[in-house]
Structure 1
C-alpha cells in the first residue's frame, strides 16, 4: 500500500503555510495556486502549521489529482474521533486524495504536553478505532522511536528541518517500503551572505525548540552550531541555496540519501503565509 502513496505524491511537492490560510478572502487565491501547482507537475502539497482535513478539503476540491497532506495536525488539538470524521468526509468526496500527517508539536507550544511518545501511540490507537487507515497517515518522525512507529503504524514519515544524513538514518530504520518525504527549505538566492541571513531569519522560530536541536545534536552537530542563529555548517546542511545547479544538487542529495519525495518550502524573506507562486514556477522549471 505504501507504493500507492509514493506514486500518488510523486518525487516533489510544495510545503506551505499560506495554502492552509483560514482567511476567507484568500480562498480563491489558494484554490488557484493549488491548481497551478498541479499543472506544474508537483505531486503533493503539504499544509504547514497545525493543519487539518478542513484546510485540505478546498484544495482537494480545486484540483483533479493532487495529493494534499497535513504537515502537521497536532495530536494535542485534534481528538481521534473528530479527526476520523473529518478524514471520512474528505475521503468520501475525493477518495485517495488526502493524507493525514500527524505530529506531537513542541512542549513550548502545547500546555498539556507530556509523555509525547505514549500520547502519539494512544492517538494512533484512537485513529484505528475511528477508521483512519494506517496507510493514509504519516508521522513527523525525527528520533529512532518515532521512526519505528512511522514504519509500524503509518505509511511512513514526513520529517521537518532535517539533513540528508538524517534522511539516510531514517531510511535505514524505516526500511524500503514506507514513504520518506522530508521537508527542505529552498532559498532562491545566490549571494552567500544574503542566503544565509534569510535562512537564519527563518531558523529563529525553530532553534528554541528542543525537538529540533536535539535531533541536530544526534546527527553530528555541536552546541556551537546552534548559537547566533546557526552556524554556516548548520545552515548549509538544512537549506538549498545558490544557483539552479546548486539547488538541484541539494534536492538530489536527499533523494540519493533515500527520500522518496521532497517537500520544498520557499524561504525568501516574505511572510510565512505568502504564496510565492513565481518561485514555485521557477522550482518546477529547475526540476524539469
Structure 2
C-alpha cells in the first residue's frame, strides 16, 4: 500500500448496511452517531456505508465523525443523478469533504427498473460528475467493479475499485486488471463463531439474497464455481471462499489472504444471527480491533 492509500483508507475498515440515518427515527440517529464515533475511536481506517445509501446518509456519518474516512459502498447511479450527488457532496464542510469518498455502482437489473447498458451508464455518470460545479473528480471516488471492463474503468476514472462478495482469487485477478497503483479495497464478510456449521448457517442467511443476483453469480462462475455451489444458500466450498468464518485469528488469516493477493484495504462486514436494534455489532467490532491491534 502506498503511503497515500494507507493514510486515506487504513488497512482495515468496517462495512455496514445499517448506517442509513434517513431510515430511522431520532433515537436511531443518535444510536448510529454514537456507534460510528466508537468505531472511529477503535482505530478502523474507513467506514463503508453499504446497502445503497443516500447522499444524506453519507453526510450524516461524516458529520458524526472527525478523522475516519467515510465511503459509500455503494451509491447506485440509478437512484441519484450525478448533479444531485455533486451538490450534496459540495455541502459537506470543506475540511470534512477531504475524508469522504464516493463509492459508485451500477446495482442490479432486479433492483433497478431503469437498469440498461451499465458500463455506458457509468461512463456517462462519471462524465457528469467531472462536469459538475464543483466536480467530484477521480481522487474522490471508487467504483464497485467485478469484471475486467469495470475494473479498467475504475483504474482510469477513479481511485480504484471496491469489489463486493469476492474471493481472494478474484482479488488477485482484480489487482492485475487495475495495475499496481489503483486502490483495491474488497469487502470481506465475517462470522465470528467457532462452531463452523453454525457459522456457515449464519453466512447462508446473508448470502441467499445475493445468489439471486446475476452480476454476482456470473462473477462467481467466472472464478470457477458451479451452479451447484449456489444451491441451498451456498456450498461449503463457496462459503469458505467468500467469508471469514471462525475466531479472530481466522479472520486475520483470511484478511492476509486478500492483502497478499493485492488488496490495499479490506472492508470487514460482520454478519451475526442477531445484529440488534441498530444492526451494528459493536461487541464484534471491539473484539476484532483488539485482535488486529496496530495492523488496523
TM-score (norm 1): 0.96
Gaps of 5+ in 1: none
Q: 2:171 aligns with which of 158, 167, 170?
A: 167
State the distance in 2 between where 1:97 and 1:69 align.
8
Mapped contact 1:91–1:98 kept (Cα < 8 A): no
Equivalence map 1:74-223=2 (5 Å): 74-92=76-94, 94-130=96-132, 131-223=135-227
Q: Mind listing any 5+ residue stretches in structure 2 that lack a counterpart?
A: none
Residue 276 in structure 1 maps to residue 274 in structure 2: no
Q: Indicate the larger mover: 174-183 or 98-107.
A: 174-183
Following the alignment from structure 1 to structure 2, what is the Cα–Cα distance between the partners of residues 270 and 120?
36
Output the aligned Cα RMSD. Answer: 1.4
CA contact (8 A) 1:190 1:241 kept: yes
CA deviations 1:185-223 (Å, max 9, x no partner) are 000111111011001111111000000000001111111
**CA offset at residue 128 of structure 1?**
0.7
Is residue 6–residue 179 contact of structure 1 (8 Å, CA) maintained in 2?
A: no
* SS state at 2:47 partner: strand
Partner SS, residue 101 of structure 2: strand
Q: Shift of residue 279 of structure 1?
A: 0.6
- Indicate which of 245, 259, 277 corresponds to 1:255: 259
The C-alpha deviation readout for 1:42-71, integer Å capped at 9, x for no partner, is 011000111133112222222221110001
The equivalent residue for 2:44 is: 42
Aligned pairs, how many? 287
Find the partner of 1:241 among 240, 245, 253: 245
CA distance, structure 1, for counterparts of residue 48 and residue 159 of structure 2: 15
Task: Give the secondary structure class of the aligned counterpart of 1:90.
Answer: coil
- Secondary structure of 2:209's counterpart equals coil
Q: Partners in 1 of 2:217 and 2:177 — Cα distance?
A: 20
Instruction: Answer whether contact 2:52 2:73 (CA < 8 A) is retained.
Output: yes
Give the Å deviation of 1:270: 2.3
SS of 1:135's partner is helix
Q: CA deviation at 1:259?
A: 0.4
Structure 1 distance, partners of 2:48, 2:290, is: 20
Match of 2:12 in 1: 12
Say yes or no: does 1:53 pair with 2:67: no
CA distance, structure 1, for counterparts of residue 70 and residue 272 of structure 2: 23
Whether the aligned pair in 2 keeps the contact of 1:71 and 1:101 (CA below 8 Å) is yes
**How big is the shift at 1:243?**
2.2
